[in-house]
């Protein structure tokens, strides 16, 4: 199902000039602002100045959020403020741990320089870890090992709570997975025919998870494209708004998926196999429902989202033991 939406308006250099001036001072003039591709919930713009320097602007705006249709001017400012608040909290927490994130130059909490929530951060110019692993395996491997050290610091920065059945977040994740099954079953015949088995398998796996009180600090969506490199190869985490305390296995099923053959360098000791199995199925279901939800709107590059949804749907059916019993579409 595709819904018609008003065309989204990207910001211009003139729009962003007051924000840029407040971030770097009046001695540098903004020459250009280029929206970078890939974001779904905030706009990311590279700001180019007349002295050759650059910075990055993050903009939380209804026009930049592809999870919802564009709203009228001013609508959605509360959710934008929440996005900035999550970013600032995550940035402070990681910086305090010594985990490298882009330096924060300005956070516009009150809309003084744009009518929506925004921040300006340093432009980390060494490319992504994904590119380094593909184009410079030796350098990429060194950065990967440094990233493993950062993840160990985050893993150690946990919270202790009283034991609950399954541990923190397990039941909430299971409930979300069942809702994802229900949502996708209305869109795809394969899931509709496997709905009962998928739901049963989520609950079976949930019930195998033993109580745990400790939680780790996790990024939540850490792929090699969410790690930038400085010129000397230091990893820098971006898109940190999803930072939370949760089971470390929840992070590692995503790391395994996204890093593939390079995951072994990031593997943590002592991971709980029952949790890994549970979170893996829940993750694949989420990676079906989420992209399909985006495709209901006006996301500008739908083909990769269809591919993500399809590959994860097949994997979820396999994990539930029903891939061979459900006909192809």
pLDDT digits (tens, 9 = 90+) for 33-51: 999 987 888 999 999 999 9
The answer to whether residues 9 and 59 touch, using CB atoms and an 8 Å cutoff, is no
pLDDT exceeds cutoff 90 at 167: no
In terms of domains, do 180 and 244 share one? Answer: yes
Residue 35 lies in a domain: yes
Residue 5 lies in a domain: no
Half-sphere exposure for 262 (CA within 13 Å, toward CB): 22
CATH code of the domain in which 140 resides: 3.90.1200.10
State the pLDDT at residue 5. Answer: 45
Smallest CA-to-CA distance from 301 within 66, 71, 128, 80 is with 66
The answer to whether residues 221 and 290 touch, using CB atoms and an 8 Å cutoff, is no
Q: What is the C-alpha end-to-end distance of the chain, expressed in Å?
A: 16
pLDDT exceeds cutoff 70 at 219: yes
In terms of domains, do 170 and 310 share one? Answer: yes
State the pLDDT at residue 2. Answer: 37
28 vs 159, which has greater pLDDT?
Answer: 28
In terms of domains, do 175 and 313 share one? Answer: yes
DSSP codes of every residue in 215-271 = EEEE-SS--GGGEEE-TT--EEE---TT-EEE-HHHHHHHHHHHHGGGGGGTPPTT-
Residue 217 lies in a domain: yes
Out of 62, 87, 122, pick the residue that ends a domain: 122
In terms of domains, do 149 and 294 share one? Answer: yes
In terms of domains, do 91 and 144 share one? Answer: no
In terms of domains, do 35 and 115 share one? Answer: yes
- What is the token pair recorded at 292? 């399909």
Q: What is the pLDDT of residues 275-319, one digit of tens each?
A: 999 999 999 999 999 999 999 888 888 999 999 999 999 999 999
pLDDT band, residue 74 (cuts 50/70/90): very low
Threshold 0.75, pTM exceeds: yes
In terms of domains, do 85 and 111 share one? Answer: yes
Cα–Cα distance measured from residue 179 to residue 199, given in angstroms and rounded to the nearest whole number: 9
Residue 50 lies in a domain: yes
pLDDT exceeds cutoff 70 at 323: no
In terms of domains, do 188 and 280 share one? Answer: yes
State the pLDDT at residue 75. Answer: 47
Mean pLDDT score of the chain, rounded to an integer?
Answer: 90
In terms of domains, do 155 and 206 share one? Answer: yes
**What domain count does the chain have?**
2
In terms of domains, do 38 and 137 share one? Answer: no
Residue 325 lies in a domain: no
211 vs 202, which has greater pLDDT?
Answer: 202
Residue 306 lies in a domain: yes
Residue 140 lies in a domain: yes
Give the per-residue SS3 of 57-116. EEEECHHHCCCCCCCCCCCCHHHHHHHHHHHHHHHHHHHHHCCCCCCEEEEECCCCCCCC
In terms of domains, do 108 and 225 share one? Answer: no
CA dist list (Å): 314 to 70, 78, 180, 201, 325: 32, 37, 15, 15, 12
Residue 241 lies in a domain: yes
In terms of domains, do 99 and 199 share one? Answer: no
Range of the domain at 17: 13-122
Question: Which residue reads 């009283």 in tokens?
Answer: 162
The answer to whether residues 210 and 235 touch, using CB atoms and an 8 Å cutoff, is no
State the pLDDT at residue 326. Answer: 52
pLDDT exceeds cutoff 80 at 69: no
pLDDT exceeds cutoff 90 at 163: no
Out of 122, 145, 167, pick the residue that ends a domain: 122
| 3-state class (DSSP) for residue 33 | strand
Out of 84, 107, 122, pick the residue that ends a domain: 122
CATH code of the domain in which 55 resides: 3.30.200
């Amino acid at each position: 199902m595709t819904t018609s939406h008003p065309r989204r308006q990207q910001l211009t250099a003139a729009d962003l000039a007051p924000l840029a001036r407040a971030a770097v001072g009046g001695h540098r003039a903004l020459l250009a602002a280029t929206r970078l591709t890939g974001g779904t919930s905030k706009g990311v713009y590279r700001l180019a100045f007349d002295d050759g320097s650059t910075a990055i602007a993050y903009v939380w705006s209804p026009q930049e959020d592809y999870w919802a249709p564009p709203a009228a001017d001013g609508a959605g400012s509360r959710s934008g403020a929440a996005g900035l608040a999550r970013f600032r909290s995550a940035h402070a927490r990681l910086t305090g741990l010594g985990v490298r994130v882009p330096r924060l130059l300005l956070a516009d909490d009150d809309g003084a320089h744009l009518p929506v929530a925004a921040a300006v951060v340093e432009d980390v110019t060494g490319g992504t870890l994904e590119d380094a692993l593909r184009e410079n395996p030796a350098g990429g491997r060194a950065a990967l090992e440094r990233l493993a050290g950062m993840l160990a610091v985050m893993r150690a920065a946990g919270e202790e709570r009283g034991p609950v059945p399954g541990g923190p977040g397990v039941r909430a994740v299971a409930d979300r997975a069942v809702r994802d099954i229900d949502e996708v079953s209305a869109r795809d015949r394969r899931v509709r025919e496997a709905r009962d088995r998928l739901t049963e398998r989520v609950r079976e796996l949930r019930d195998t998870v033993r109580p745990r009180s400790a939680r780790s600090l996790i990024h939540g969506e850490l792929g090699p494209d969410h790690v930038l490199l400085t010129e000397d190869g230091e990893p820098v985490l971006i898109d940190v708004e999803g930072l939370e305390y949760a089971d470390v296995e929840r992070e590692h099923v995503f790391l395994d998926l996204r890093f593939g053959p390079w995951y072994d360098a990031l593997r943590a000791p002592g991971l709980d196999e029952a949790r890994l199995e549970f979170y893996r199925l829940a993750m694949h279901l989420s990676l079906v429902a989420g992209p399909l939800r985006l495709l209901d709107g006006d996301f500008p590059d739908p083909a990769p989202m269809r591919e993500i949804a399809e590959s994860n749907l097949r994997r979820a059916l396999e994990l539930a033991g029903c891939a061979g019993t459900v006909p192809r579409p």
